[in-house]
Structure 1
């Protein structure tokens, strides 16, 4: 299948357009579903959090009111004194004090006063409530053991089915516990609190510290939230799990040991999820059909001029340069057709020009071979001058002629690379000529280790630098000195040409190191050597000029250290 598609640009284009259209549609549809679910879940979480906060605050205020009332009761001397009082008049005063202390809370809870034996002494109940509570276990025992704490427990000691929570505090007189204040919270009291802050679509349960169900709404009982959470807590499992049929939220109620649980069916049920995926599938199928037709139309539109160009190119390959492609389109493909016609016209013109230029090249080659006779003629003339000077006893002229002849012979040879020893011999010949010319006004020294004599370098790279040092560095210098030092470093051959002349100005130094031909006018030898080295070895090699602190000028030549050459005289590292 892959080979079939790749054999046709139209099929490749069609497949590309089809995939480019289809994949974003699928991805966008999936993202929309995900974003919708995420937004729905986020809104649901926010609403649930708001509901939990509202209910928790209402219950916290309720239990704080009860706590404040209990504290007021245990600090009321008339009530505390009336616990052990047998006089009816004093008891009536204690009752009156109890009703005054519970004025703001007795409509939302029942307050009972028990003596140290657990016998009911006072109550705010109007229904003849007279229940006693044992002190050897249960809430009174815990309260006796912790007289300074508020004890909240599920109502298991009450015969009254309406009571769901009991809150107890010990009543202390001096350092002795003389009784207890126990508040009974009815389910109706909690329902009254919830009615002001509760959405009945949620199920609510209040659990004690052992995750026992203290109170549940009807929905909460049906969903068995308390039993579910308690079982997971005892089994050591996470309280919330992904496969829960009910989403629930937990919140501590103030500083009590009670926990509020709010539960509700998930916002995204299986039916809603299936509907969403069904709609997404329909959208994707519609996109596939639409993409198929659009991709087919676009691929035909784009490939038709390419097919015409392909046929025209086949004719050009066969040697027909008169072929042309006419197109009425003004887009890039129309421009391509127009450029193809221009190309064939220019190619035809170029072929004709090539025939003419080949003839000119042949003529130039003949002229170049004739021109090569001139340097050989000059070399032979210098050799003749040497022997004439010797015959007439003019040794300086004979030496200059001999040295110049050797330099010329090396420069016109076909060898592009020579040994470092050969290069230094040619430099010494050049220096001998210049010393005769300048009457011995400068000296020259060179240090060439024996192990470097056979290093292969391009010819004529040291002589131009020595010439620059002589002409520019030692200008107007009476006792000039030029020193050439060759050494190896890190696998490279380095050659220093140093003079003790007038030094080099900063502006000229910058020009020499710029590798800019326009800036190096007047220093063309320096530029040529640097260019030759970079062309042969790369931009990391070449020339670098310095201005030493002791004066004068130093030029550093850097090239790879090579000692072998192949048959065409090119160096090998």
Structure 2
């Protein structure tokens, strides 16, 4: 098919699709149901044809394989039975006596007559198989055809004698008078030689010979199946027996037959299977005429029933599809409205409809886009307002810290500790150089160093001040908001140690808790009364309610400043807890996401 024809077909398909989509709902439903019914009938016909063909071929192939397995098992069992029979005869007590040399002539004659009768009975029982005993003491006994026994045959002079002695058994098969131990038998036969030993001394005493005529091999291939033929071939290519009919086309096909089931160009299925034993290797050839085979497959009845059920089910599916065509866009609109409720603003629904449903979807998309534009505008204004508020909060910290530090320097100079005052001034300079950095985010290591420098200055003011910092080294490089720990430490010094006379201690502990960063700042200062703690928690709650509101210039400005900045940055992911007991101290616990500055910005609208 040329590219021009393909293009015409594609254009025709697109034209039909466009016309269908522009139909009204009623016409669209009727057209869809009719097309689905026709498609269902065609599909059912194709499926039935494929299933029927595969089932038919599978039936014939399974028949061939079953026949091969059955005949191979028959052949193996037959020769295993011959082996067992030979060994039972050779090593029976009365047969061992025949091979003995120290037996009187009269006794030997009696034993030979009895053995001949017994071997003759076996020959009759096994449908013409001939059994013979050849002892090294000169005794030769056969059950039937004793007049044809060739007394000139010397097994020890055979080319294969060494192999017989080595293996204890040798199989000689073929046609010709030079084979076997009987005269005048030009037809094909199989002769099996067994070495016999004295079971007391284990000395070799003679041989047992079983001759199997061709007709008994033919019986192993008998089958009652009409249209099924079998043949046995030697690996060299010679035919042992065959009931395959003369057919020139079939004969040429059998010459290069593979070891698997194949179908010829006509109606025949053929196969070759190797029968490999320790002493012979044959090929079993199976030919089956498919016209004689009946398909024994109850699944075909189910296929017919299944087709009818399929048609019914597909009609139900058609009805469901029509219903889905009408309800899906409505459900999509409902899901989109739920997404908008969950702050997924601006969601759009793909519109592939050109009827009344398409108009409904277009209206929804237009409404969603308008809402998205309005909220984005408010979000931008809110973000600008939040950034300005954060900068104001950061500037609130510096005056408090500078005032406290200048008091320390003044006190050191008045007490004549100029060197200490110089040290404090140098540290103060390092802190303010740090504050001049415009970075909103720093590492946790930088924040801790900044706080330790502050505590070093405070130690000049509070002689009994001790401080501890316990932070996992793995957390040191995490992103962290600037100026968070220092205001909390400053709050402990200002309010906790104001009237404390004994040792003052501050502890900073930062660890990972689940996927969050858990921060604790604890002091052993004066603590807070229950009313003070309740008032502080109420003010913190107000920050959660309205994080954009300016903080009042009251007590605990450092704590509230930190809480407001944290909430503006992390939103509901930020948690704070203050535990305080009057006379024992205060513990402030903060919990923030571990990813820090990589958190997605949240707009407050």
With the length of structure 2 as denominator, give the TM-score of the two structures. Answer: 0.46
With the length of structure 1 as denominator, give the TM-score of the two structures. Answer: 0.48
